[in-house]
Amino acid sequence: MNKKRALLVGRMQPVHKGHLSVIQETLNDVDELIIGIGSAEKSHTPSNPFTGGERVLMLTKALREYDVDPSRYYIIPLEDIACNSLWVSHVKMLTPPFCKVISGNGLVQQLFEEENIPYNEPHLFNREEFSGTEVRNRMLNDEDWESLVPESVVKVIHEIKAVERIKKIHKKEVSELINEKK
């Protein structure tokens, strides 16, 4: 019998507990899940501080920590392309076949719908806290970010000295803005 596979796309900057919840919930409904790490080529910017490889590492460790069966998922880095109308083909070229997409992103939903691939709006878990933006802001402001991500992701973030990186990126942005105004 054919496997029922879904695709979940997210930038995962960084991987947080909301991602793990949606992954676990989706796996109750499908045989296999393809997890596409979006904007894989981006890093070292305020909203995309982590490299594609670092995000693969975080996700691999977190799925192991949560005891998710490795035979049930694929982690695929997805680079952005200039042309939105070709993006679905680009994604299909890089992923195993799937029958639906899980995404709350309006553009992603529209592009797949136009190619007749259905999407599900994810059920958002504790969205006030479980969002990449919230994790990055807390890192910047020396607030508790650790409780928002799996323990294994805390370890990776320390290993790659990411809090220091995020602070440096922010400092550079602020000084560039000040120079622009001069």
Ligand X SMILES: NC(=O)c1ccc[n+]([C@@H]2O[C@H](COP(=O)(O)O)[C@@H](O)[C@H]2O)c1
Residue 107 binding partner per list ligand ATP, ligand X, none, with a CB distance cut-off of 5 to 8 Å that depends on partner kind: ligand X
What is the side-by-side strand order in the sheet with 73-77?
73-77, 32-37, 5-10, 100-102, 119-120
CA neighbours within 13 Å on the CB side: how many for 67?
Answer: 0
Residue 11 makes contact with ligand X by CB under 6 A: yes
Residue 55 makes contact with ligand ATP by CB under 6 A: no
- State how far the Cα of 130 lies from the Cα of 124, in Å rounded to an integer: 9
- State how far the Cα of 16 lies from the Cα of 143, in Å rounded to an integer: 16
Measured from the CB of residue 5, what is the shortest distance to ligand ATP in angstroms? 16
**Residue selected from 47, 84, 89, 137 as contacting ligand X according to rule CB under 6 A:** 84
**Would you tell me the crossing angle of helices 162-181 and 132-140 to the nearest 10 degrees?**
80
Residue 81 makes contact with ligand X by CB under 6 A: yes
Residue 80 makes contact with ligand X by CB under 6 A: yes
Residue 133 makes contact with ligand ATP by CB under 6 A: yes
List contacts with ligand ATP (CB under 6 A): 8, 10-13, 18-19, 21-22, 102-105, 122, 124-127, 130-133
